[in-house]
Structure 1
Amino acid sequence: MEFAGPRIAICSEEFAADPHKFYRRMRKDYGPLVPVEMWPGVPATLVIKYRTAVRILNDSEHFPADPSIWQKTVPADIPIMPMIEYRPNAIRTSGAEHARYRAALNDALAGMDLNFLRSIVERSAAPIINTFCRDGNADVLSQYVLPLVFSVFCQVLGCPPEIGERVAKASAAMFDGVDTDTVNAIMGGALLDLTTLKRTHPADDVTTRLVQHPAGLTDEEMVHQLVLLFAAGVEPPLNLVANTLLLMLTDPRFTTVDNGCPLSTKTALDERLATDPPMANYCITYPRQPIIIEGVWLPANQPVIVSMAACNTDPEMNTGEFLDNGWNLAFSTGPHACPAHARPYGLLLAQEVIDQLLDVLPELKLAVPKEELVWRPGPFHRALTTLPVVFPPTAPLPVG
């Protein structure tokens, strides 16, 4: 059968405000596969059943990730294009091309030292906290989480601050879906400069390991691997941190003492990954031929988006027990899943960023009712616009 009924706009403000209300409606009205618009006038199919998503994500022969054919059928200047267009990197290719990029990425990430990561966060957090700790209030998303996550990731990549600032500007524009040409120009220029720097001045960092990998990546290929790394290494972790902080500041399980102590940061992170992952709808594939899935015809070369948020809360799978959530799709699954070495990095980063803040400002409280917080519209992320907090003014930390 084909879909009957209106497409649901997953890019709208209404969807962003309460996506789980929409997921419940989707299950009732459509079942496992849902007709959606990922941008006005850009149709797609959203997968909201866990087992169906796992089947698709592990079948790259029938569901490749290369959008090249589809891309020719939509306007080149739609604002979300930088997030979904073909790039010669590990997330937008298939077959031998994908295997080559994936191997280079895996090997480069394998050299990350988690103990070094912890020390970077500890060293970098204090100066940032000092910029607002005496005020008694802050938007911790823009004043703390974003600058800290970005600074740490740049240090792991070996990216100097001046190049990082250019990348930050383009990255924010990419996720907000504005001005495709400007995003690509700023991002491409900055990352080419980073590639050139590491070819001439190698160091012990992820970018150098990519540059020196036996795959022999060209400058253009390097730029596109770095686009992927920045897209995955900044926005999702910062949203995971912000969304987890929101949970910890508003849920009595984390704010009150029960049997000795409140639940831990790690528990809060696990729950957020299982209920509201920072990349809520992504892992896009494009069927090679028309194919029937769950009794629905999916047209060839049209986007099929996996809703990690909906699949993780699929009533067939999720019983409400979040402490053991190794099965969830927050990191995806199959050949395009988040690389194994990146997962502990992301989790440790989020935990350290949260714990550093709460160690210094243990009486942190949300400054407004939770219902007044605004979620950024967009088809892919689960992201707050701000996270305003209040706390007793505190003396600056010693630095150095």
Structure 2
Amino acid sequence: MSYPVDSYGRHDRHGQNASGCPVTGTGAAAVTPLFGADFAADPHAVYGQLRATGSRAHPVALEPGVHAILVTSYATAREILLSPDFSKDARNWADLNRGSIPADSSVRPMMEWRPNALFSDGHEHQARRQVIEDALGKVDLYQLRRFVEEAADELIDRFAPTGRADLIADYARTLPLRVFNRMFGCPDDIAERLVEGMSALFDGREPEKSMALVTQGLMDLLEFKTNEPGSDVTSWMLAHPSQPGGEEIIHQLMTLVGAGTEPESNLIGTAALKILADPRFAGHFAGINPPISESINDVLRWDPPVANYGVHYARRTTELHDVVFPTGVPILISFAAANNDPTEGIAADQDATHSAHLAWSAGPHQCPAQRQAQSIAYTAIEMLFKRLPDLRLAVDESTLQWRPGPFHRALKALPVRFSPRAARAGQKASAAANGQAPRAGSLLQPGPPPPSPETPSPGRKVLNLWLNWWRGDN
């Protein structure tokens, strides 16, 4: 039986100091760093080394001095995701509560508690999730696909005549931004700040500055939609009868921004790389359409864009699959390692379906936007190879670099070459492609009517409460 560590790497199952390694039972606890260029270059080698210890869970450092338990076992990960014995409420984080996590910690913004669906349990989680599901359920998937096609055409037209591009900066990162603009009724300047801030948070860069950038962007979006409600997710969430008052709407939106931009960009970029570099998916070079669905599923199964996250906390000291999880310690699910577990799950079952992977998580916190995310990624890649059928890597695959950070799997750049092509003749840049706010009914069902002048809008009330919360006045 193994005993994963507390945040100091020295506790036994009863929370007392232990001299031996709580994972292997010998020597000092080996805490594996999940940060830096070495981990970013080959995280699967690190997962393999951890798995070789024989344990299903391992002491890791998310940054110097910030420790957690990383679950690499498929069965253990799935049981934690499904079990009521584990909570998503980050107010259980012992080190944060005792003041051991500095305010400028690079991982703190991604882990500390907020009143949203991601960090809540039980009835609170169900109520908050219902608001999100109802709003996302109004998105017309057919119109969403048409919009992605238009936005993709406009972006490809920008670099098609040059014969070269960086598919990350010029396409994969920009396209989800445009989709976010349309779905959330977000003006382009606000969306760019939100995506810049969320990207930095995933990287662990300048956390306080990045968090302030995201917060201000969301406040600006909320004020904008308060004055101009429309056919968009933000307006629907504001008007939802189950959306409680207070600053929750900001925190709910933050979750959706984080899930809908950075991971979507990484999914598009890594799936495109699969088609360009992996012999299993390179059939399009012979005039065969690229296997888009297969490349996306392969990324989700073996190299998911959110590699390590799904933070949980044991409600009480809990033994699971011969591993003892103490209270108060962040438990990260390694979706990447669990899906690659050679002894169980989909890695061991050759007949397992694509849906068996954990990239969308599982249980009550399973991603509510799977259909939208997959549709966006599929359409983006389809349009790319349709317009540029001789697309090829401009550098050797071994020279590609990955962005450091414990949570994501993200390419820094993806340089490509292709035969130069003229932009589409007579193209009319749509409002969607230019990142403008959507017109009613263009992508979503009709939105709520504007508030009457004498009635304070829910958005204005929320904005005032949020400002008080952010300034520490409450």
Residue 26 of structure 1 pairs with residue 15 of structure 2: no
Gaps of 5+ in 1: none
- Partner residue of 1:208? 235
Secondary structure of 2:61's partner?
strand
Pick one of 56, 64, 74 that aligns with 2:87: 64
The corresponding residue for 2:11 is: none
Q: Is the 8 A contact 1:255 1:262 kept in 2?
A: no
State the 1:218 CA deviation: 3.1
Distance 1:206 1:321 in 2: 39
Aligned position for 2:196: 169
Pairwise CA distance, 1:262: 5.7
Tell me whether 1:122 sits opposite 2:145 in the alignment. Answer: no
More divergent stretch after superposition (236-245 vs 19-28)? 19-28
Give the number of the structure whose alpha-carbon radius of gyration is greater: 2
Which stretches of structure 1, 4 residues or more, deviate above 6 A after TM superposition?
A: 257-260
| TM-score normalised to structure 2 length | 0.80
Q: What letter corresponds to residue 218 of structure 2 in structure 1?
A: L
Could you tell me how far apart the structure 1 residues matched to 2:376 and 2:218 are?
Answer: 23
Alignment match of 1:314 (pick from 312, 327, 341): 341
Please state whether the residue corresponding to 1:134 is helix, strand or coil.
helix
On the 8 A contact 1:171/1:187 being kept in 2, the answer is yes
- CA 1:322 to 1:133, structure 2 compared with 1: closer, same or farther past 3 Å? farther
CA positional deviation for 1:310: 0.9
Show the counterpart of 1:255: 282
Report the CA distance between 1:133 and its aligned residue.
Answer: 1.3
1:140 aligns with 2:164: no
Within-5 A mapping of 1:146-185: 146-185=173-212
Verify the 8 A CA contact 1:270 1:322 in the aligned structure 2: no
Of residues 382, 401, 418, the one that matches 1:374 is 401
Tell me the residue number matched to 2:370.
343
Going from structure 1 to structure 2, the CA distance change for 1:272 and 1:97 (only over 3 Å counts) comes to: same
Equivalent residues, number:
397
Q: Could you tell which deviates more after superposition, 110-119 or 90-99?
A: 90-99
Summarize the Cα distance change of 1:346–1:322 in structure 2 as closer, same or farther, 3 Å threshold. Answer: farther
> Does structure 2 conserve the Cα–Cα contact (< 8 Å) formed by 1:366 and 1:388?
yes
1:259 deviates by: 11
> SS of the residue aligned with 1:178?
coil
Matched, 1:220 2:247: yes
Q: Structure 1 residues 104 and 257, CA, compared in 2 at 3 Å: closer, same or farther?
A: closer
User: Do 1:270 and 1:323's aligned partners in 2 also have CA atoms closer than 8 Å?
Assistant: no
Measured in 1, the distance between the counterparts of 2:235 and 2:336 equals 35
Could you list the runs of 5+ residues in structure 2 that have no partner in the other structure?
Answer: 4-21, 429-474
| CA spacing shift, 1:260–1:181, aligned 2, 3 Å | closer
Offset at residue 257 of structure 1 (A): 6.3
Alpha-carbon contact 2:131-2:243 (below 8 Å) kept: no
Q: Secondary structure at the match of 1:38?
A: strand
* Alignment deviations for residues 276-310 of structure 1 (CA, whole Å, 9 cap, x no partner): 11111110001122222232332211100101111
Aligned residue for 2:221? 194
Instruction: Give 2:445's aligned residue.
Output: none
Give, in whole Å, the separation in 2 of the partners of 1:247 and 1:259: 16
CA distance in structure 1 between the partners assigned to 2:276 and 2:352 by the alignment: 19
* Alignment check: 8 A CA contact 1:47 1:306 kept: yes
Q: Per the alignment, in what secondary structure is the counterpart of residue 162 of structure 2? A: coil
- TM-score normalized by the length of structure 1: 0.95
Larger deviation, residues 246-255 vs 206-215: 246-255
| Aligned twin of 1:102 | 129
Residue-by-residue CA offset, 1:352-398 (whole Å, 9 max, x unaligned): 11111111111110111111101111111011110011111111123
Identity over aligned pairs, percent: 38
Contact 1:82 1:180 in 2 (8 A): yes
Deviation per residue, 1:156-192 (Å, 9 max, x gap): 1111112112212211221111222222222112212
Q: How far off its partner does 1:47 sit?
A: 0.7
Q: CA deviation at 1:122?
A: 1.4
SS at match of 2:87: coil
2:77 is aligned with 1:53 = yes
Q: Distance in 2 between the 1:254 and 1:320 partners?
A: 21
Q: d(CA) in 1 for partners of 2:90 and 2:153?
A: 43
Change (3 A) 1:258 1:319: farther
- Counterpart of 2:70 in 1: which secondary structure? strand
Q: Is the 8 A contact 1:291 1:297 kept in 2?
A: yes
Is the contact between residue 38 and residue 44 of structure 1 (CA under 8 Å) also seen in structure 2? yes
From 54, 64, 80, give the equivalent of 1:40: 64
**Distance apart, 1:240 and its partner CA:** 0.7
User: Which amino acid is 1:280 matched to?
Assistant: A
Alignment counterpart, residue 361 of structure 1, candidates 372, 376, 388: 388
Q: Distance in 2 between matches of 1:3 and 1:77?
A: 30
Instruction: Kindly state the Cα deviation for residue 97 of structure 1 after the two structures are TM-superposed.
Output: 2.2
Shift of 1:321: 4.4
Secondary structure of the structure 1 residue equivalent to 2:219: helix
Secondary structure at the counterpart of residue 106 of structure 2 = coil
Aligned counterpart for 2:261 among listed residues 230, 234, 258: 234
Query: Which one of 1, 5, 17 corresponds to residue 41 of structure 2?
Result: 17
Q: 1:260 to 1:200 in 2, by over 3 A?
A: closer
C-alpha distance after superposition, 1:303-333 (max 9, x if no partner): 0010111111111221474883111101000
